[in-house]
């Protein structure tokens, strides 16, 4: 007896006796597979409690009446179990999972796993409802975006693109606490990248901005009490901009030094003074030394008991300076190297004695001036 191509329903033959049997068999098969809904899938053995019309998808390794019926749709009626072998494309609703499954020609798989393309979706909500103001909404505890590697047809890179319509528009990421804004990053009202912060979601402060034309980074001016640039472990120390054209160094909540068009100074701070660090003092016990670039800005402390000669060479350049301190009995004499000259008040070229200090300055290239506690 011939069957239909897709559902294998029996045909009634010409001059067939008891045609109603064949007809009823076809109706019973249709009742099993049309609008297919099963109670559960991957069921290995017939359930103990049965209801007429109950349908199941048999597990890969069945037992009892389900033996050898892997993946088939099992339906119970008064006559016993009826089995139908699925074909590729059959769709079934699984009540126990509240999910749709599809047969791919080899096995039943979740239908949503077969969706590979969505276009022009007006709203999408993940774990929550999307609305007109937020057509893409998600409520979750973690999210992962990973680059597709070359082995899977990608290039191993991952780049997020956020685009605004025009310069005067805004493209940003807003960070909220209990639905109130606390920080924002992006291009807000122009093409400068900014980081903004807020304590209440209403008043906002620009913490940093980057000039797109030059790449220059700008920070808040701040003050001695709250430097614009400070340190995580020491909020009272950093750099401030107390006025236009002024940069101040702040330590322990107070301004210690400042640089301006007038130069570097400390005299505007009551009770403060410059101090040399340990690395700025160079102790030398020899009786001869040729000044080098590494001596620039240093204090040279000579401890020899016999006379010392310090030579100023011709290759140090304009702007070189250092200090000479006689720490022992040996007087220090500043001598000019080949191509250089040394001058001083009344042509004095030696330190005046123990603990006498003199400064060496090159106001012009190869020309050195000695000043301080000196003698001839």
Q: Give the H or E element holding residue 299.
A: strand 299-302
Mean pLDDT of the chain: 88
Q: What is the pLDDT of residue 4?
A: 52
Indicate if the pLDDT at residue 271 is higher than 90: no
Q: What is the pLDDT of residue 339?
A: 96
- Lowest-pLDDT range, 141-155, 222-236, 348-362? 222-236
Q: What is the pLDDT of residue 268?
A: 44
Range of the domain at 197: 170-219
Q: Give percent above pLDDT 70 in the chain.
A: 86
Asked whether 318 and 364 are in contact (CB, 8 A), the reply is yes
Q: Give percent above pLDDT 90 in the chain.
A: 71
Based on the fold, state whether residues 215 and 236 are members of the same structural domain: no
pLDDT, greater one: 275 or 157: 157
Smallest CA-to-CA distance from 52 within 26, 21, 31, 25 is with 31
Based on the fold, state whether residues 249 and 209 are members of the same structural domain: no
Q: What is the pLDDT of residue 269?
A: 47
Report if residue 137 sits inside a domain: no
Based on the fold, state whether residues 285 and 356 are members of the same structural domain: yes
Q: What is the CATH number of the domain that holds 319?
A: 2.60.120
Indicate if the pLDDT at residue 361 is higher than 90: yes
Based on the fold, state whether residues 288 and 242 are members of the same structural domain: no
In angstroms, the CA 315 to CA 320 distance is: 10
Based on the fold, state whether residues 209 and 242 are members of the same structural domain: no
pLDDT digits (tens, 9 = 90+) for 158-203: 999 999 999 999 999 999 999 999 999 999 999 999 999 999 999 9
Q: Specify the 3-state DSSP secondary structure of 261.
A: coil
Based on the fold, state whether residues 243 and 203 are members of the same structural domain: no
Smallest CA-to-CA distance from 57 within 110, 106, 112, 108 is with 108
Neighbours of 350 (CB within 10 A): 22
Cα 83 from chain centre: 57
In angstroms, the CA 118 to CA 104 distance is: 20
Domains identified in the chain, total number: 4
Its pTM stands at: 0.54
Q: What is the pLDDT of residue 84?
A: 85
Based on the fold, state whether residues 287 and 349 are members of the same structural domain: yes
Asked whether 47 and 55 are in contact (CB, 8 A), the reply is no
Asked whether 235 and 217 are in contact (CB, 8 A), the reply is no
pLDDT, greater one: 51 or 92: 92
Report, as an integer, the average pLDDT of 66-84. Answer: 89
Strand partners, 265: 258
Based on the fold, state whether residues 292 and 315 are members of the same structural domain: yes
Q: What is the pLDDT of residue 15?
A: 62
Q: What is the pLDDT of residue 340?
A: 96
Report, as an integer, the average pLDDT of 53-78. Answer: 91
Q: pLDDT confidence of 265, banded at 50, 70, 90?
A: low
Report if residue 326 sits inside a domain: yes
Report if residue 29 sits inside a domain: no
In angstroms, the CA 39 to CA 32 distance is: 13
Report if residue 325 sits inside a domain: yes
- Token output for 58: 């048999």
Report if residue 71 sits inside a domain: yes
Indicate if the pLDDT at residue 62 is higher than 70: yes
Report if residue 296 sits inside a domain: yes
Indicate if the pLDDT at residue 29 is higher than 80: no
Based on the fold, state whether residues 317 and 239 are members of the same structural domain: no
Report if residue 153 sits inside a domain: no
pLDDT digits (tens, 9 = 90+) for 234-247: 989 999 999 999 99
Report if residue 15 sits inside a domain: no
């Amino acid at each position: 007896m011939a069957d239909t191509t897709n559902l294998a329903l029996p045909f009634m033959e010409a001059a067939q006796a008891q045609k109603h049997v064949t007809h009823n068999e076809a109706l019973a098969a249709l009742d099993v597979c049309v609008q297919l809904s099963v109670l559960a899938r991957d069921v290995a053995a017939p359930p103990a409690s049965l209801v007429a019309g109950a349908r199941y998808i048999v597990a890969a390794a069945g037992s009892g009446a389900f033996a050898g019926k892997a993946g088939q749709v099992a339906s119970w009626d008064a006559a016993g179990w009826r089995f139908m072998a699925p074909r590729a494309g059959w769709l079934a609703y699984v009540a126990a999972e509240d999910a749709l499954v599809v047969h791919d020609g080899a096995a039943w798989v979740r239908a949503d796993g077969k969706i590979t393309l969505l276009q022009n979706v007006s709203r999408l909500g993940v774990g929550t409802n999307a609305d007109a103001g937020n057509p893409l909404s998600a409520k979750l505890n973690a999210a992962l975006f990973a680059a597709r590697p070359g082995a899977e047809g990608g290039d191993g890179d991952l780049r997020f693109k956020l685009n605004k319509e025009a310069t005067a528009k805004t493209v940003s990421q807003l960070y909220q606490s209990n639905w109130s804004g606390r920080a924002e990053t992006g291009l807000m009202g122009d093409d400068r990248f900014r980081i903004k912060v807020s304590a209440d979601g209403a008043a906002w402060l620009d913490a940093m901005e980057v000039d797109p034309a030059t790449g220059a980074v700008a920070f808040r001016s701040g003050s001695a009490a709250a430097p614009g640039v400070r340190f995580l472990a020491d909020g009272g120390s950093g750099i401030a901009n107390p006025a236009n054209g002024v940069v101040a160094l702040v330590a322990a909540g107070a301004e210690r030094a400042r640089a301006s068009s007038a130069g570097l100074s400390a005299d505007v701070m009551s009770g403060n003074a410059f101090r040399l660090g340990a690395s700025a003092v160079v102790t030398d016990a020899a009786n001869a030394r040729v000044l080098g670039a590494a001596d620039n800005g240093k204090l040279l402390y000579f401890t020899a008991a016999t006379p010392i000669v310090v030579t100023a060479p011709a290759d140090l350049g304009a702007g070189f300076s250092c200090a000479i301190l006689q720490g022992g009995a040996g007087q220090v004499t500043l001598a000019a190297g080949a191509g250089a000259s040394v001058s001083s008040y009344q042509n004095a070229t030696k330190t005046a004695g123990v603990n006498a200090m003199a400064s060496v300055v090159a106001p012009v290239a190869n020309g050195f001036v000695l000043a301080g506690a000196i003698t001839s």
